[in-house]
Structure 1
Amino acid sequence: MTARKLTVLAAGLSQPSSTRLLADRLTDAVVARLRDVHGVDVELNIVELRDVAKDVTNNLITGFPSPKLESVIEQVTHADGLIVATPIFSGSYSGMFKSFIDVLDPKSLDGMPVLLGATGGTARHSLAIEHALRPLFSYLHAVAVPTGVYAAAEDWGSTTDSVGALTSRIERAAGELAALVAVSDRSQQIRDPFALDSSFSVTGGFSAA
């Protein structure tokens, strides 16, 4: 079976960050499900947005991506599935995360299976996945799995209840994304955007409108 391409988009600002920690936990769970349950090999790409933050800003100003940013955009848009994790500031996703989304072609995530993850200092922001992230990816015509995973500061604590609840959400979301990625053929359908459509006839000439 052809390996599936899985890209992870981590928008944490610090290093190390709880956002990257959540992204890694989600990634490990999805990869395990794909390999152990679906028998699918995984080609994994992990993107730290902080590493291309200046490139994203320059792209917004000039309209042209740097080679480094272009490579990241390709890893994201040519994947069979996407895991995103962003910190929540003032009740919504980070500005850096949104800026990266803004440099993507609006149609590039059409049909993309996506697992939505977010982190924050308090559980009060847990609904940000539903009122901010999910509508954003719905607008882009991506297929966000039903279970979003939000991790507050207390979820990384030592109590059995908090750790167990987070683990349960991670496993449920991973199963949902793995099921979609296992049958995805998005990465095989991506073609050269400058290639001629097969319906174009070079011998047919042009007709007047």
Structure 2
Amino acid sequence: MRLVVVSAGLSVPSSTRLLADRLAVATVATVATAATAARASAEVEVEVEVVELRDLAVEIAHHLTSGFPGRRLAAALDAVTGADGLIVVTPVFSASYSGLFKSFFDVLERDALTGKPVLIAATGGSARHSLVLDHALRPLFAHLRAVVVPTGVYAATEDWGAEGLEGRIERAAGELARLMTGLSASVPKARPAGAETTVVPFEEQLAALRRSG
């Protein structure tokens, strides 16, 4: 099983990459447990690949103007297309995702993310920008026809080391893990083969209600 992490952090070290790594670790830790419980099989191995968009900025710009990806960009696009699940993390710029982040997904093949589980996350200097998850990231990946997990994770500067962030990371990772392993929140039990179905006419049901009343 392959998990691909797309990080659009620009600095080194990067809080965006740090959040991406923590989300990946939490997802890997829960995928095997979820898969084992669902399939009653041995532990599932998860291969994690990180795509650092900072290293691909020049190739992304060339692709936008020429229509042809460079070698490293082509490998990154193939990794995202072939992933069983994605974690995407961007720093906030001007109350939205970064231009580098958007440009990468602009050069992705149109149907590459159709039906693919995606965990969205972002980092910023202030908690005021947390709505970027629902106002920018979620609509973007809905447009790309990905399946976005219910919980997005935003980490402001003051969130690091504070209560609450770890819980959001664990919850979002669990949701992504369940989608990657094909679990369903509730699966109706199949009717046993040969079981009979009794149909009671409406008139009889109505008469029984009148008698009981």
TM-score by length of 2: 0.81
What residue in structure 2 maps to residue 67 of structure 1? Answer: 71
What residue in structure 2 maps to residue 189 of structure 1? Answer: none
Which structure 2 residue ranges, 5 or more long, are not aligned?
37-43, 184-213
Which amino acid counterpart does residue 138 of structure 2 have in structure 1?
A: R
What residue in structure 2 maps to residue 41 of structure 1? Answer: 45
**Which string of whole-angstrom CA distances, capped at 9 and with x for unpartnered residues, describes residues 84-121 of structure 1?**
00000111000000010110112110001000010000
**Which string of whole-angstrom CA distances, capped at 9 and with x for unpartnered residues, describes residues 134-162 of structure 1?**
000000000000000000000114xxxx2
Cα distance, 1:70 vs structure 2: 0.4
Cα distance, 1:183 vs structure 2: 2.3
- Which of the residues 25, 30, 43 maps onto 2:22? 25
The 5 A counterparts of 1:45-124 are: 45-124=49-128
What residue in structure 2 maps to residue 155 of structure 1? Answer: 159
Whose Rg is larger? Answer: 2
What residue in structure 2 maps to residue 193 of structure 1? Answer: none
Q: Does 1:131 align with 2:141?
A: no
Task: Please state whether the residue corresponding to 1:38 is helix, strand or coil.
Answer: helix
CA distance in 1, matches of 2:12, 2:115: 32
Q: Does 1:8 align with 2:32?
A: no
Cα distance, 1:57 vs structure 2: 0.3
CA distance in 1, matches of 2:49, 2:21: 12
CA distance in 1, matches of 2:132, 2:15: 17
Which amino acid counterpart does residue 18 of structure 2 have in structure 1?
A: L
Task: Please state whether the residue corresponding to 1:104 is helix, strand or coil.
Answer: coil
CA distance in 2, matches of 1:122, 1:78: 34
Which structure 1 residue ranges, 5 or more long, are not aligned?
185-209
Q: How many residues align?
A: 176
What residue in structure 2 maps to residue 168 of structure 1? Answer: 167
Which amino acid counterpart does residue 165 of structure 1 have in structure 2?
A: G
% identical aligned pairs:
60
TM-score by length of 1: 0.82
Cα distance, 1:68 vs structure 2: 1.1
Task: Please state whether the residue corresponding to 1:64 is helix, strand or coil.
Answer: coil
